[in-house]
Structure 1
Amino acid sequence: MNNPLVRTRTIGVFDSGVGGLSVLKAIRLGHPTVNFIYIADSGNAPYGGRPAEFIERRASQIADALVEGGAEIIVVACNTATAVAVEKLRSQLSIPVVAMEPAIKPAVGYTRTGVIGVLATERTLESMAVKRLCREYGQGVNVLLQPCPGLVEMVERGELSTEPTRAYLRNLINPLIAQGADTLVLGCTHYVFLEPEIRKIAGPGVEIVESSEAVARQVIRHLGSERAPALAKHTSQESFLTTGLPDHAEKIFSQLWGAPVEVRALETGNIRAHA
């Protein structure tokens, strides 16, 4: 039985699709006893080619749904949604909003050749956030920005290790390596699930960095002292929802999560975390 004196927090996480599960995994490792709600806006994925107004509207609607479901912290587990909509979300919400940022700063610290490659959606690479990161941390470093149209869709379909996926990744990565890149930034949460294939192509001498662990640390800081031993007996509650087709989503979610999960359609009234 759960300790009635221990208050367990609920974290809401959303992404344009399934990519944010990589962030949720990192949060779960750091704080395995919180409740969480995950919403994949797969019915509208990918966000990379969407107008900014559309992304802002969807982010606001999904954040409202998470708050309605009891979320006390929201994680925007999507670099594109962060770049376009996070400031507006923070102005609208009274709860903490934790967001993504391509790991350009740590990549600059890792590089030995002075060349890094950034793999991301076109919308992310065109954002003011990436321009700021390059300006603040890219002095003296050659930052190669590589858009990856279609890569999110491959992950959404669960095509992580097919030959077409490998061929496409080679076309993206080999030119970066040829230009001297010894560090690659995965600037989209979906791409984390392709990391094993990316490592094979890039080779052992190339560092690969992404932001999920940094985001998890931010969430843990917001949780503060509630990361307590008394919570060890708490059975966490979880809810996975999608704006896409639940049957298809359930297969992909389970593949990426590493265990069978139930995925429900996002509807009013069914968004609270449940065991």
Structure 2
Amino acid sequence: MDTRPIALFDSGSGGLSIWKSIVSLLPLESTVYMGDHRYIPYSTKNVEFIQRRGKCAIQFLISRKAKIIVVACNTATVAGIDYFRKIFPDIPIVGVVPVIKTAAKMSQKKKFGVLSTERTAKSDYQKKLIRTFASDCEVYPVGNTQLVSLIENGEKDSVRVVELLEKLLNPLCKKDVDVLVLGCTHFPFLRTQIQKIIGKSVLILDSGDAVAMQVKRILEHENLLSDNQKPTHQFFTTGNPAKVRDVISRLLERGIVVKTVPDSVQ
């Protein structure tokens, strides 16, 4: 058994939706989470910048004795997963991608939407997933980055969020989709609002459970599972720890402590 932590990083707080799925499935595992809030959102940055920040994050998480790395960010996964695996070959690295394959299987009407950041929506990676797994479906990508900023500003339940979601989702309602993929780790925190707008009959899918299952499979295969009855959960940020603490505490609905990363990671 291995009590070292599962490590996750994201451009901000969105990766906590993945964190929740992992902690739910693997309750004996300790975790360490790093949000790169100083540079959020990644979706407006170039590939080289995202790879550089991801490298810094992974180096920091390895210094915290991580046994596996989860790139809990769709944009960072699309921009850098192959690069990260190449330069850190000695530690398992799991990425997050939109569950296009699952959506194609679950859609009865063969029509579904994908809500993600603009970078992910335009990426060759997502287009390839659609060509490979959903060639028999009508797929409607919707890209938006403003939602990420609103969530990070603590406006998850604000009127502005609802109005923006209505603007983004109403065209999908007219397309009569029966599945909606959430292709950004921030967006599961808006699931309630999204469901009200898109309709109860539309199935909403995100990557959380799939990522958690992949982490479990790797830990089982490598004999790295923990039996720790008192796991710990640490949270770090490159941003303002007090502000980040308030946002994360609301998202997770629990009080937490957020620490600042060392200057070398900033």
- TM-score using structure 2 length: 0.95
> Could you tell me how far apart the structure 1 residues matched to 2:24 and 2:145 are?
31
Q: Could you tell me which amino acid in structure 1 is paired with residue 230 of structure 2?
A: T
Whether 2:247 is the aligned partner of 1:264: answer no
Give the Cα–Cα distance (whole angstroms) in 2 for the partners of residues 121 and 90 of structure 1: 23
Residue of 145, 157, 167 corresponding to 2:153 = 157
Aligned to 1:197: 193
| Residue 103 of structure 2 is aligned to residue 145 of structure 1 | no
Deviates more, 1:218-227 or 1:247-256: 218-227
**Correspondence for 1:73 among 68, 72, 77:** 68
CA displacement 1:49-90 (0-9 Å, x = unmatched)? 111111010001111111111111000000000000010000
The answer to whether residue 128 in structure 2 is matched with residue 121 in structure 1 is no
Gapped regions of structure 1 (runs ≥ 5): 1-5, 271-275
Partner of 1:179: 175
Once the two structures are TM-superposed, the CA of residue 125 in structure 1 deviates from its matched residue by 1.4
Distance 1:11 1:140 in 2: 37
Q: Secondary structure at the match of 1:88?
A: helix
Alignment counterpart, residue 84 of structure 1, candidates 79, 90, 114: 79
- Deviation of 1:251 after TM superposition, in Å, equals 0.4
Q: Tell me the percent identity.
A: 37
- Residue deviations 1:184-214 (CA, integer Å, cap 9, x gap): 1100000010001000111111010010100
What root-mean-square deviation, in Å, do the aligned CA atoms of Structure 1 and Structure 2 show? 1.5
State the alpha-carbon separation in 1 of the partners of residues 5 and 75 from structure 2: 24
Q: In the alignment, does 2:222 pair up with 1:219?
A: no
- Of the three residues 39, 46, 49, the one matched with 2:34 is 39
CA deviations over 1:213-267 (Å, ceiling 9, x no partner):
0000011112215547xx2x62112210011100000101111122100001111
**Structure-2 separation of matches of 1:221 and 1:95:** 15
Among 3, 7, 11, the residue aligned to 1:16: 11
Return the offset for 1:177: 1.2
Structure 2 unmatched ranges of 5 or more = none
- Aligned partner of residue 158 in structure 1, secondary structure: coil
1:108 corresponds to: 104
Matches of 2:94 and 2:167, distance apart in 1: 33
* 1: CA distance, partners of 2:250 / 2:215: 25
User: Partner of 2:44 in structure 1?
Assistant: 49
AA aligned to 1:91 is K
Separation of aligned partners in 1, 2:245 and 2:259: 8
Distance 1:269 1:259 in 2: 29
In 2, Cα distance between equivalents of 1:150 and 1:195 = 16
| Matched letter for residue 149 of structure 1 | T
Are 1:95 and 2:91 an aligned pair?
Answer: yes
TM-score computed with the length of structure 1 as normaliser: 0.92
8 A contact 2:103–2:205 mirrored in 1: yes
